[in-house]
Amino acid sequence: MKSRKLRELNVSAIGLGCMGFSHGYGPAPERGESIRLIRRAFEMGCNFFDTAEVYGAGDNESIVGEALKPLRQQAILATKLHISDTRDKSLKAIITAHLDASLQRLQTDYIDLYYQHRVNKDIPVEEVAECMGELIKDGKIRGWGQSQATEQELRRAHAVTPLTAIQSEYSIMERMFEKDVIPACAELNIGFVPFSPLASGFLSGKHNAQSKFTGDDVRKGITRYYKENILANQPLIDLLDQFASQKQATAAQISLAWMLHKNDFIVPIPGMRSEARFKENFGAADVELTAPEFQQIETALAQIEIYGNRTDEDIAKLYR
């Protein structure tokens, strides 16, 4: 697969979001199958794997760690910590404790990319950045990032310890970061890693108003999956299908190719749990849009209204 750079990290143009191997999208594969699939993704050219301490209450890191243990020196491993409370302990002690627990589950002695999993508005980003800088000097992480950060938050943090990447939601259906965050990343040589680059699978075109989501599937709380919004968003799927037909590709591949065309520091991490999806989504790295084709898509998108969205607050309601 083609490669891209997140600051100094050399990664495959498309990474693998691993959350679904534990939870979030209905029944997860059996543990052994998850490990096999992660290793298969590597064999197919993906070297960039994303997890987090909260996915499956640590179970996801454990699965990813076991899968990548024999491949550790060749893989780029990203995980995330959530800082909720700093009472009674120093921030450095809290972050280090989280990191040490992740390192143990991941069976490694360093993390390539360590994100703050959402920016805690009560903790100055400068203080987090300073701690991350110390961990980089200690060799425990190679780089760090923020998730869903604003332009000002990333600029303030970057001034203390340069950011490797910002990981935030970005897709054809969610473009709010195009206004300021992505241009700031371009200016400051910060990578941008879109999660939900296929809008939680919506842009694959494989779901319709009759689709059912059960168990812990987060799509039950994503309003773009409400029946009325699925129907209202059909013009977008029709547009993607039109270009997919022209390029002998799929709607998902056009969605990812559109994103890859925009900037060379954007590296999407779709969640996938089958070899068929690996082949399809990794294959998007070879679907090249010409400048006129890209402009045709942009012009058409400007005429299409998007219905529904995805918010942390809506998803959190599922677990109360």
Round to whole Å and give the CA distance between 66 and 105: 8
Contacts of 261 (CB under 8 A, 6+ apart): 288, 289, 294
84: three-class secondary structure by DSSP: coil
Out of 55, 114, 115, 225, the active site residue is 55
Of 91, 92, 80, 50, give the one whose Cα is nearest residue 67.
50
Structure tokens given for 113: 């990319």
Buried/exposed code over 96-129 (b: 16+ C-beta within 10 A; e: otherwise): bebbeebbebbebebbbbbbbbbbeeebebebbb
Q: Is 55 a known active-site residue?
A: yes
The span from the first CA to the last CA of the chain, in angstroms, equals 41
Contacts of 278 (CB under 8 A, 6+ apart): 37, 40, 41, 44, 46, 272
Residue 171 φ then ψ, to 5°? -165, 180
14 in Cβ contact with 277 (< 8 Å): no
Task: Name the amino acid, one letter, at 236.
Answer: L
Structure tokens given for 170: 């970005």
Distances (CA, A) of 248 to 25, 205, 253, 286, 289: 28, 15, 10, 12, 12
Buried/exposed code over 188-210 (b: 16+ C-beta within 10 A; e: otherwise): eebbbbbbbbbbbbbbbbebeee
Estimate to the nearest angstrom the gap between the alpha carbon of 41 and the chain centroid. Answer: 16
Write out the catalytic residue numbers.
55
